[in-house]
Structure 1
Amino acid sequence: MLLFFGIVYVAVIIQRLWEVGLAKRNAAYIRAQGGYEVGAGHYRYLVALHVCFFLSLLYESLQVSRLPQLWWLPFGCFLLAQCGRYWCIASLGRFWNTRIFVLPGASLVNRGPYRFLRHPNYCIVAIELYTLPATFGAYGTAVIFTLLNLWLLLRVRIPLEEETLETLAKEET
């Protein structure tokens, strides 16, 4: 179990660090086009939540001596969520970011998963925050961080995005 956990844990951290780099490049592009960030004040809480998630996942998973019997179910869901994550990233292209950016005059993206859901990436993050720890029997981490993400951050972030989109729509008319 320890080897499997280590490989997955390091792979996901590398993935997240790559995504932070991608977000910075996309932010530079949007700013260069005249875009700006909205709601920067809550971003540090988002980062803190994810750092604490990975620390909690490490601690709790190392307390478990072996994989749960049906570990492959949450892991399969986690892998499917990764496909969804990259579908979101590909669909948004240079507009994908971990922060909230506005580019005046840009059209709302309505391709890929955004044809079906307004905020698919947030659904995917919720799935990931539950299924990755559940794969390794870290059920406390799975429940606590899924709830914290949904209650604390999405309570702020989605309404902020919706308010921003509504304001932009009013400015266009």
Structure 2
Amino acid sequence: MTAAALLLVLVTAERLAELWLARRNTAALVARGAFEAASGHYPLIVLLHASWLAGLWLFGWARPLNPGWLAIFVVLQGLRVWVLTTLAGRWTTRIIILPGAPLVTRGPYRFLSHPNYLVVIGEIAILPLCLGLFWYALVFSVANAVILAIRIRAENAALSERGA
């Protein structure tokens, strides 16, 4: 197995584990009275991330890894863990609003409103760069920027109306 394929196996496993965690957290939040807001764009997010990962497998599994970009990607994974542990049971891939719950203001949320999206922006660009796929990083970064603009606007609107 190539180093690139091993990296993609690890990223794929991480994403599958995150989907499991997101579903578990969503179900628990809904059981506590939470609801989903602005779900219309969610299929676009799923399509983008699935296409991004599938394409990385298609174009990158046998390519050499760039150690500098890989180091940055590893740092991003540390930031991802910080976000997930800070949000704990409130982390999901959807916009789930728990009425009356205060906004999280600890961890990376002390510094940014949406640190998870900063991590996602970095990952979408950096993982292809680890594999020398500069054009791929550019195309998916532009697509991600469009979808995140919709997502962040929707999330901010939902959070401002949550009744906390």
Tell me the TM-score range normalised by the shorter chain.
over 0.9
Count the aligned residue pairs.
Answer: 164
Is contact 1:60-1:141 (8 Å) kept?
Answer: no
Is contact 1:34-1:103 (8 Å) kept?
Answer: yes
1:144 and 1:63 map into 2 onto residues whose CA distance is: 21
Is 1:140 aligned to 2:135, yes or no? yes
**Which residue pairs with 1:164 in the alignment?**
158
Q: TM-score, normalised by structure 1?
A: 0.90
Is contact 1:36-1:101 (8 Å) kept?
Answer: yes
Q: What RMSD, in angstroms, separates the aligned Cα atoms of the two structures?
A: 1.4
- Which letter maps to 2:157? E
Is contact 2:8-2:61 (8 Å) kept?
Answer: no
2:107 alignment partner, one of 100, 112, 121: 112
1:60 and 1:3 map into 2 onto residues whose CA distance is: 13
Unmatched segments (≥5 aa) in structure 1: none
**Which residue pairs with 1:127 in the alignment?**
122
Is 1:86 aligned to 2:85, yes or no? no
Is contact 2:128-2:137 (8 Å) kept?
Answer: yes
- Which letter maps to 1:91? T
Unmatched segments (≥5 aa) in structure 2: none
- Which letter maps to 1:97? T
**Which residue pairs with 2:72 in the alignment?**
77
- Which letter maps to 1:42? H
Q: TM-score, normalised by structure 2?
A: 0.95
Deviating above 4 A after TM superposition, structure 1's stretches of 4 or more consecutive aligned residues are none
**Offset of residue 165 of structure 1:** 1.6
1:95 alignment partner, one of 80, 90, 94: 90
What's the CA shift string for 1:64-108, capped at 9, x where partnerless?
Answer: 5x44xxx11111111000000010000001100111000001110
- Which letter maps to 1:166? S
- Percent identical pairs in the alignment equals 37
**Offset of residue 62 of structure 1:** 4.8
2:88 and 2:54 map into 1 onto residues whose CA distance is: 30
Is contact 1:113-1:120 (8 Å) kept?
Answer: yes
- Which letter maps to 1:56? G
1:3 and 1:16 map into 2 onto residues whose CA distance is: 20
- Which letter maps to 2:85? A
1:149 alignment partner, one of 140, 144, 148: 144
**Offset of residue 59 of structure 1:** 2.3
